[in-house]
Amino acid sequence: MKLLSAPPKWDASPPEVWHDWQIQRLRAYLKERVLPFSAHYRSLFVEHDLHPEDIQSFDDWSKVPFTSKANLTVPREQQRNFVLIPQEAALKREWSVLWNAVFHGANYAKEQIEKEFRPVMMTSTTGRSSEPVPFAFTKHDLTHLDLTGRRLMEVGGSQRDWRHVNTFPYAPHLAFWQTHHAGLGFGTFMVSTGGGKVMGTEGNIALIDKVRPEVVIGMPTFLYHMLREAVEAGKHWPQLRRIVLGGEKVAEGMRAKLTLLTHELGADEVSLISTFGFTEAKMAFPECPTHLALNASGFHLSPDLAIIEIVNPRTGEPVPEGHSGEIVFTPLDARGTVVLRYRTGDIAEGGLTWAACPHCGRRCPRLLGPISRVSEVREMHLDKIKGTLVNFNILEHLLDDMKGVAAWQVELRKHANDPLDLDEILLHVATEPGVSPDDLIHRLERRFAEVTEIRPNEIRFHTMPELRERLGVGRLLKEAKVLDSRPKLTASRELNANP
C-alpha cells in the first residue's frame, strides 16, 4: 500500500498541516485497505452510497455513520466482519506485491502479506457491561504498539537505563500489552509481575525490593493498596521516579494519596503519570509528568495513527475545540480488527486542543480531562415519583478526594432485595488510621448532598483487608468500585409491572 505523502513529525507540526494529511491518509486507507477487505464497512458504505473520494474534509467524514459497542456485541461470526481479510485477487494487482514477487520471489511476497494481515495476537474488551469483544492484532499492528509504547516512554520522561516494573495482570488486555511493548519499543528493562493475581501483593513488593525500579506501572487501585502495604512493612524505595497509571480514571485525590505514599517510602521526586487507552484503539496515550500543584497536561495523541473527534454525546454533532464531548476514534493504519468513527462512551471534559503542551511544548493534539464514562450516569429509582439520574463519575471523584477515606465501594441494591422496590445506595468504607467513623459519616453525607443531592442509605465500615476482598484487588482485571447488586426482573414479573 503506498502513502500519498510521508506524515509530518507527530509532535511538532501545526494542526492545518495535520488536517490536510489526515484526510488524504484516510481516503487512501479506506480505498486501499478498509473497504476492499472489511465486510462490515464495505456493506455500510454501499448502503449509504458513500465513496472515499467524496471525503474531502472532516465535515464530509462526519456524514459516515458511527460504530458503537452495540455493533460489536454480535455473534462471533459477525464480529469477523470487522477484521480486514484480504482478497487474493485484489492484492495481486498491488505494485508492492508485484515488486516483491518479481525481485524477491513468491515466498517473500507471501511472507510480507502475512505480516500485514495475519492475526497473531488478540486482546479483548473487559466486559463490565457486556460480553468481552475480541480485537485481533497482526504484526503490522504490533509495530504500532511498539511505536506508541516508545512515545509513552518519551512523553513520560523515562530513561533507557531505568528499570520498569509492570504490575498489570497477565491478560488479553490492552494495558498489559501496551506496557510490554513500551519496554520493547523504547529498548529498556521491563519486568512484568502479572499483578496481584499471580504473585500477590507481597510478591510484588518483594520483587520491587529486589529489582529497585525507577518506574512502577499498573492499575491505580492495585498500586494504592500495594504502596500502602509497602509503607506498613517499613519499605524504603528512594529510587522511585515515576508511578504510571492505566486501566482506570484517576481523581486528584487518588493522585495525592499515591504521592504521599511514595514520600513515605523515601521517594521525594516522583511524578505520577496517567495514561488513556481503550481496546478498540489498540493503543494508549500518555500525559506529561507534572506535579500535583500543576494542571494535568492532557493526553498526547498520535495524529499519524488515528483521527480523534469530539462530539455531543446526545446529538453526535461535532463540538468546537476545547469543548466537552464524547471521544470518537478512527484508525489510519490499523489491520486485524478495525472500527471507524467508534463512539467510545468516554467524555473528555476539557475536549480536544491543538495548542502546544504547556509542560513539554509538543504540538500534537491533546485530550483534556478529566475523562468520564457516559455509562456511569445511571437512572436510580429513589422515590415513587420518577427516576433520578446519578452521575457515578462524580461520586468516584468525590470519594477519592475525601480525606479520611482509605478505600471505598459503592453498592447499588434494591430495598428488601425486591426488583420492584426502590433503589438504595450502600457505601462501603475503610478509614485512614485515626479517623473517627462518626465524623466521617457526617462529612460523607454532607458532601454527597452538596454534590449529588442524594445521600447513601447506609454506610458500612470495613478493615482494609475486607474491603480489598470486596473490590477484588489483585483478583479482578478492573476492581469493582461500583457494584450493581440489584436483582433483575423475571419476564413474568416485568410483564406484571408494566401491564
Confidence band, pLDDT 50/70/90 cuts, at residue 494: very low
Predicted pLDDT at 99? 61
φ/ψ region of 416 (left if φ > 0, alpha if ψ in -120 to 50, else beta) reads left
Contacts 24+ apart (CB under 8 A), 289-297: 289/156, 289/157, 289/242, 290/359, 292/252, 292/255, 292/256, 292/259, 294/359, 295/358, 296/369, 297/357, 297/358, 297/359, 297/360, 297/366
Mean pLDDT (whole number) for 353-368: 96
Helix 106-117 vs helix 95-104: crossing angle, to nearest 10: 140
Q: According to the per-residue pLDDT averaged within each range, which of 325-329, 415-419, 488-492 is highest?
A: 325-329
The answer on pLDDT for 105 being more than 80 is no
pLDDT at 498 over 60: no
CB neighbour class for 323 (10 Å; exposed up to 12, middle 13-18, buried from 19): middle
pLDDT at 97: 63
CA distance 50 to 91: 23
For residue 109 the three cell numbers come to 511476497
| % residues pLDDT > 90 (the chain) | 72
pLDDT digits (tens, 9 = 90+) for 55-81: 999 999 999 999 999 999 999 999 999
Read off the pLDDT band of 252 (50, 70, 90): confident
State how far the Cα of 262 lies from the Cα of 260, in Å rounded to an integer.
Answer: 6
pLDDT band at 302 (very low <50, low <70, confident <90, very high): very high
Reading the block at residue 202, the C-alpha cell is 507481597
| More confident: 383 or 204 | 204
This prediction's pTM: 0.88
Residue 322 has pLDDT above 50, yes or no: yes
Please state whether the peptide bond connecting residue 370 to the residue before it is cis, i.e. omega within 30 degrees of 0.
yes
3-state SS assignment for residue 184: helix
Give burial (CB, 10 Å; 0-12/13-18/19+) of 58: middle
Please give the C-alpha separations between residue 361 and each of 11, 21, 335, 355, 366, in angstroms, as whole numbers: 9, 22, 32, 9, 12
> Which domains are present in the chain?
376-497 (3.30.300.30)
CA pair distance 354, 58, nearest whole angstrom:
16
Give the model's pLDDT for residue 387.
67
For residue 1, what are the contacts with CB-CB under 8 A and spacing of at least 6?
A: 28, 32, 33, 94, 96
With a CB cutoff of 8 Å and minimum separation 6, the contacts of 408 are 399, 427, 428, 429, 430, 467, 481
Count of residues making up the chain: 499
Cα separation, 283 vs 285, in Å, equals: 7
Least confident of 106-120, 152-166, 482-496: 482-496
**For all residues of the chain together, what is the average pLDDT?**
90
Q: What pLDDT is attached to residue 384?
A: 52
pLDDT at 130: 64
